[in-house]
Structure 1
Amino acid sequence: MKTLVIVTHPSIETSVINKQWVEELQKYPEKYTVHELYKVYPDGNIDVEKEQQFIESHDNLVLQFPIFWFNCPPLLKKWIDDVFAYGWAYGSNGGDKLKNRKVALAVSAGIKEEDYREEGRYHYTLDHLLSPFETTFQYCNADYRSFFAFYGAEHETVASDLENSALDYLNFVDNL
Structure 2
Amino acid sequence: MEQSVVNKALAERVEKEETATVHYLYEAYPDGKINVEKEQALLLSHDRIVFQFPFYWYSTPALLKEWQDTVLTYGWAYGSGGDKLHGKEFLAALSTGGPKEAYNREGYNYFEMEELLKPLHAMANLTGMKYMAPFMVQGVRMLTEDQLKDAAEEYVSYAVKSL
Q: Answer yes or no: same fold by TM over 0.5.
A: yes
3-state DSSP class of the match of 1:33? coil
Is the Cα–Cα contact under 8 Å of residues 99 and 139 in structure 2 kept in the other structure? yes
2:65 and 2:127 mapped to 1: Cα distance? 16
Higher strand share: 1
What is the aligned partner in structure 2 of residue 50 from structure 1?
Answer: 38
SS at match of 2:23: strand
User: Given the two structures, how large is their TM-score scaled by the length of structure 1?
Assistant: 0.89
Do structure 1's residue 19 and structure 2's residue 8 form an aligned pair?
Answer: yes
Structure 2 regions of 5+ residues with no counterpart? none
Q: Check if 1:121 corresponds to 2:108.
A: yes
Aligned partner of 2:20 in structure 1 is 32
Residue pairs, 1:145-160, within 5 angstroms: 145-153=132-140, 155-160=141-146
Pick from 74, 91, 96 the counterpart of residue 86 of structure 1.
74
Partner of 1:105: 92
CA contact (8 A) 2:4 2:54 kept: no
CA contact (8 A) 1:101 1:142 kept: yes
Is the Cα contact below 8 Å between 2:92 and 2:134 reproduced in 1?
Answer: yes
- Tell me, in whole angstroms, the C-alpha distance in 2 between the residues paired with 1:162 and 1:35: 21
The one of 148, 156, 161 aligned to 1:162: 148
Stretches (4+) displaced over 6 A: none
Deviations 1:85-117 (A, max 9, x none): 00110011x200111101111000011111011
- Contact 1:134–1:146 (Cα < 8 Å) also in 2: no
1:128 and 1:62 mapped to 2: Cα distance?
19
Distance (whole Å) between structure 1 residues aligned to residue 116 and residue 23 of structure 2: 24
Superposition CA RMSD, Å: 1.0
Corresponding letter in the other structure for 1:104: L
Is the 8 Å Cα contact of residues 137 and 143 (structure 1) preserved in structure 2? Answer: yes
Q: Does 1:73 align with 2:76?
A: no
Distance 1:122 1:60 in 2: 30
Other-structure match for 1:130: 117
**Residue 3 (structure 1) aligns with:** none
**Residue 120 of structure 1, CA deviation:** 1.0
Given the two structures, how large is their TM-score scaled by the length of structure 2? 0.96
Distance 2:38 2:62 in 1: 20
